[in-house]
């Protein structure tokens, strides 16, 4: 049986420890690509916490964009709340109009570095209906959680669902469309169990060995499944 394998990484940005070329977390991605031909979808905020605008880090963007096994996708603009929303769930603070304006800010930042991301994932997963409606007009696909977005009506945009963690210690994985597994992870962050540290790298490698022994694996970027 053939199986599509998608590996998503959230929050990558040009800060030490969060996806610079010489970071430990980055080295694990290169190792998995070399051993298994893994591909990765990097969901990147365009100005993480207002401190890391992509336009100030062209060389970093080029580093990732020049790897043919990496897809750059959008993951909010600031990836934090500005008017009292929950945690870093940026798009919970917006109705359709303000969400549209925030997406324009985001896409303007991407345009400055010569990249047009096709995909989007909500920062912190959660968002208003208006935010999802705005995203559907600006992007080709949205990647959502397998349960957190069940209260949202998503129309007029390709939707990918899934959030199996790279840190799982069993092989009870969720198949979508009977042929696809979508793994979810964070590049770093003390609050995240599924970040790219040595323990999770070794655990995920064992998952891939198990899958390789039981399936014919096709590693895919989400843009390749449109």
Section 89-97 average pLDDT: 97
User: Per-residue pLDDT for 200 more than 90?
Assistant: yes
Distance spanning both ends of the chain, measured CA to CA: 21
Write the pLDDT tens digit of every residue in 97-123.
999 999 999 999 999 999 999 999 999
The stretch 46-58 carries a mean pLDDT of 98
Residue 59, token pair as written in the block = 């060389």
- Checking 83-88 for CB contacts under 8 A at 24+ apart, the result is 86/124, 86/126, 87/124, 88/123, 88/124
Rounded to a whole number of angstroms, the CA Rg of the chain reads 17
The rounded percent of the chain whose pLDDT value lies above 90 is 89
Q: What is the pLDDT of residue 169?
A: 82
Structure tokens belonging to residue 87: 């945690």
Question: Using 50, 70 and 90 to split pLDDT, how confident is the model at 59?
Answer: very high
CB 159 within 8 A of CB 144: yes
Tokens of 95: 């109705």
Mean pLDDT across the chain: 96
- If pLDDT is split at 50, 70 and 90, which confidence band does 76 have? very high
Q: Using alpha carbons, select from 108, 30, 31, 122 the residue that is nearest to residue 74.
A: 122
Report, in this order, helix, strand and coil percent for the chain, each rounded to 5.
35, 20, 45
Tokens of 196: 């790219």
Asked if residues 3 and 225 have their Cβ atoms less than 8 Å apart, the reply is no
10 Å CB burial of residue 145 (0-12, 13-18, 19+) is middle
**Average pLDDT of the segment spanning 60-85:** 96
State the residue for tokens 């905020």. Answer: 45
Q: State the chain's maximal CA–CA distance in angstroms.
A: 49
Q: What is the pLDDT of residue 101?
A: 98
Q: Average pLDDT, stretch 64-68?
A: 98
Of 74-88, 130-144, 207-221, the one with minimum mean pLDDT is 74-88
CA distance 109 to 44: 12
The residues pairing with 143 across neighbouring beta strands, listed in sequence order, are 121, 160
Q: What is the pLDDT of residue 44?
A: 98
Record the pTM.
Answer: 0.97
pLDDT score at 4: 97
Examine the pLDDT at 148 and tell me if it is beyond 90: no
How far apart (Å, rounded) are the C-alpha atoms in residues 168 and 204?
Answer: 8
Between residues 56 and 163, which one has the greater pLDDT? 56
């Amino acid at each position: 049986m053939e199986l599509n394998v998608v590996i998503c990484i959230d929050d990558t940005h040009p800060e030490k420890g969060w996806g610079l070329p010489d970071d430990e977390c980055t080295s694990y991605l290169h190792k998995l690509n070399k051993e298994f031909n893994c591909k990765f979808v990097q969901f990147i905020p365009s100005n993480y916490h207002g401190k890391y605008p992509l336009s100030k880090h062209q060389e970093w963007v080029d580093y990732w964009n020049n790897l043919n096994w990496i897809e750059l996708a959008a993951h909010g603009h600031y990836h934090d709340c500005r008017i009292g929303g929950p945690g870093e769930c940026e798009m919970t603070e917006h109705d359709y109009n303000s969400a549209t304006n925030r997406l324009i800010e985001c896409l303007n930042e991407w345009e400055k570095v010569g990249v047009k991301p096709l995909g989007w994932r909500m920062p912190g997963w959660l968002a208003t209906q208006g935010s999802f409606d705005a995203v559907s007009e600006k992007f080709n696909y949205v990647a959502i959680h397998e349960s957190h977005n069940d209260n949202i009506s998503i129309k007029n945009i390709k939707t990918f669902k899934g959030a199996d963690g790279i840190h799982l210690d069993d092989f009870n994985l969720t198949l979508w469309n009977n042929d696809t597994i979508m793994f979810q992870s964070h590049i770093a962050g003390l609050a995240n169990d599924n970040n790219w540290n040595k323990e999770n790298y070794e655990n995920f490698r064992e998952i891939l060995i198990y899958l390789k022994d039981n399936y014919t694996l096709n590693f895919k970027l989400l843009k390749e499944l449109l």
